[in-house]
Amino acid sequence: MEGAILNPMSNPMPGPDSLLALAFPSDPQISPDGQRVAFVLARVEEEDPQKPDKEFAKPRYKTHLWLSDGGPATQLTQGEGRDSSPRWSPDGATLAFVRASSGRGGQLHLLPVGGGEARRVTEFKGAVQDLQFSPDGRSLSFLSTGDDEDKRDERGEARVITRPRYRFNGRDWLPERPARLWHYDVQADKLSEWHTPETEINGYAWQPDSGGVLFVSSTDELRATQGQQEVYRLPLNGAPEQVTQWNSGIGTLIPHPDGGRFVLVGRPEGKGSPENSHLFLVEADGSWRRLDEQHDHGVGNMVGGDCHVGALPEKPVWLDDSTLLFSSTVRGSCGLFRVTLDGKITVQDHDAQAVIPSFTASGSGVALIRERADRFPEVELNGKTVTALHDRLTFPILTPERVTFQNELGEGEGWALLPEGEARVPAILTIHGGPHTDYGHAFMHEFQLFAARGYGVCYSNPRGSAGYGQAWVDDIHGRWGGPDMDDLINFFDRCLEAYPRLDGSRSAVMGGSYGGFMTNWITGHTTRFQAAITDRSICNLLSFGGTSDIGLRFWDDELGLNFHRRADALKLWDLSPLQYVEDVKTPTLIVHSVLDHRCPVEQAEQWYAALTLHGVPVRFVRFPEENHELSRAGRPDRRIKRLEEYLGWLEEWLKG
């Protein structure tokens, strides 16, 4: 899998620029006959290879479509455009995809798979997303804001806000009108606006008879902020009809082959973000039951990795009239499972030492991405690996060792990744975000880099993490900083005991998002760590409630509290790291992105100001234009700068 890349400088000790050699697979799409896979590959290249700036390199992601029939994958699209979202026509002859070029959002294109040039279908000012062919192949649908433009900021105009939700992480300002559902008649080459929703469409799926779609939305904007969604039926000609009274979060819709029933992935009414997502079969009369009652694990992949650039579909698929294929996070792994209409669960493809972050299936074929802690993500087609991306790594990869700890609920687990050799090394405790996500067997370039640079990396799944059953998740409800901190410190002590090479007198604590909250919390409650790095963190739960894109609901779900209720305010302050900042002595690096609307940058600003006033050594690194996903999918040069800052801080306080 050759291609021009920005080569990292040759150095016996790898640096953050090793990121430049990587190529990231995403969006594996199985062909209708199950014998081919189309996918997206993101590579890091100079923004304009014809006009490189010798004083300032501009590495950027460039994406193209690749194709495999079971042999080594070959590149399908070329050029400077950024290609994504490949979608097969039902006859397997055409790929619809999105191509973005400089100055224009991604537009719908059609490419004959047998050969020929791609043809552009749309020329909107807004981007096209969520392409879907109808089962009969006659229609192609997508979401787009069309030619709507918002130039108020360019013109310096005031922005008048009347909606409860107006900014969102990764999207910045939300459009005045939600994206519309569009219909393209493939044979007639006719494009039309199909449906203009009152509130945003969060997902949709074609009915088996191609007579219309089911879509997810909310009855009004306030319910949307509260995660209260419903399913609607929309015919090709006619008005939408609400078919559920769900009043809760819905992630994905999977119509049953009979056309009358469907499965949704979501949470029942009264359950918020701490509840694992599950499979619910909704009958034609609106009654429903949970299909995966015997499976105490959430649907989908919750294991975090930092080599996921692009879309990672994991929508369940009907294998026949009675069997549904789905993915699920089990401890530190994610695999594929089957569930029948009578609730029987069987394993299809589950390696307890691996993660499948994405899959699609059709007929008897399955396309997926698989990764391990010591193996870079690769694309597989029907059990055969069709990429060789691991070979691009520029330094030897280490294998982590499992470390267990005990608490009131039983056994917890984590891992220690140690450098080669026998010398004593500084120890890092790193904490995942969420809190209801997971560390595990996904590949982490960041961890491998730290270990290669001489640090022992310790990471675990304390109570609150996904993958260990609902009771494990629920145990931190209303008490962040309690059981989770106990587990983290307990786990770290077990690592120090198991591996005497780890030097507890030269240790750091770090984390992002919820992991940043925990880093701030821990340094306010112990001085045992010699350095801290807090990334996209939270320090003030009160101000978070009114500034985060999920703040109107999040603390209700997680803590049973909310910032706008007088009776809850002091309780939220008691759970805020800022309340304990006078006790912080640990030198702290703060990293944050300006367009992070999930954990807004004002949280970092408050933590920086407070540490400064108390004389704590502190350094604040702010990234422009980036959002909450900087560490995983941010611009390559900014990801590199972030890692450089991490390593510089660790060098100064643990080795200096």
Reply yes or no on whether 26 is catalytic: no
Among 333, 576, 628, 631, which one carries the catalytic annotation?
628
- Terminal-to-terminal C-alpha distance of the chain: 41
Q: Answer whether 111's CB lies under 8 Å from 97's CB.
A: yes
Which residues, 6+ apart, have CB-to-CB distance to 331 below 8 Å? Answer: 352, 413, 440, 461, 467, 468
Q: How are strands ordered across the β-sheet holding 59-68?
A: 23-30, 37-46, 59-68, 74-75
* Residue of 144, 362, 460, 513 marked catalytic: 513
Helix (H, G, I), strand (E, B) or coil at 347: strand
Let me know the angle formed at the C-alpha of 390 by 387 and 391, rounded to the nearest 5 degrees.
95
Encoding tokens for residue 412?
């917890």
| Rounded CA separation 378/569 (Å) | 48
Asked whether 639 and 623 are in contact (CB, 8 A), the reply is no
Give the closest residue to 592 by CA, choosing from 579, 576, 608: 608
Integer Cα distance of 252 and 264 in angstroms: 6
Q: Are 39 and 28 in contact (CB under 8 A)?
A: yes
The four Cα atoms 133, 136, 139, 144 give a dihedral, to 10 degrees, of -30
DSSP states along 532-569: EEEES----HHHHHHHSTTHHHHHHHHHS--TT-HHHH
**C-alpha atoms less than 13 angstroms from C-alpha of 54 in its C-beta half-sphere:** 0
- Amino acid of residue 221: E
Cα–Cα distance, 88 to 94 (Å, whole number): 6
Residue 327 three-state SS = strand
- Burial (CB < 10 A; 0-12, 13-18, 19+), residue 222, is middle
- The number of residues in the chain equals 656
Give the sign of the dihedral formed by CA 201, CA 203, CA 208, CA 210.
positive
Instruction: Give the integer Cα–Cα distance in Å for 516 and 61.
Output: 27
Backbone phi, then psi, for 552, in 5-degree steps? Answer: -65, -20
Taking the CA atoms of 509, 644, 421 and 423 in sequence, report the sign of the dihedral they define.
negative
On the question of a cis peptide bond just before residue 25, with omega within 30 degrees of 0, the verdict is no
**Which positions ≥6 away from 338 have C-beta within 8 Å?**
319, 323, 324, 325, 326, 345, 346, 347, 348
Q: Is 425 helix (H, G, I), strand (E, B) or coil?
A: strand
Tokens of 11: 């150095």
Report yes or no: 368 and 380 within 8 Å, Cβ to Cβ: yes
Tokens encoding 205: 């799926």
CA 231 – CA 348 distance, rounded (Å): 29
* SS3 assignment, position 608: helix
SS3 per residue for 20-34? HHCEEEEEEEECCCC
**Token pair 């450098």: residue:** 419
328 is catalytic: no
- Residues catalogued as catalytic: 513, 628
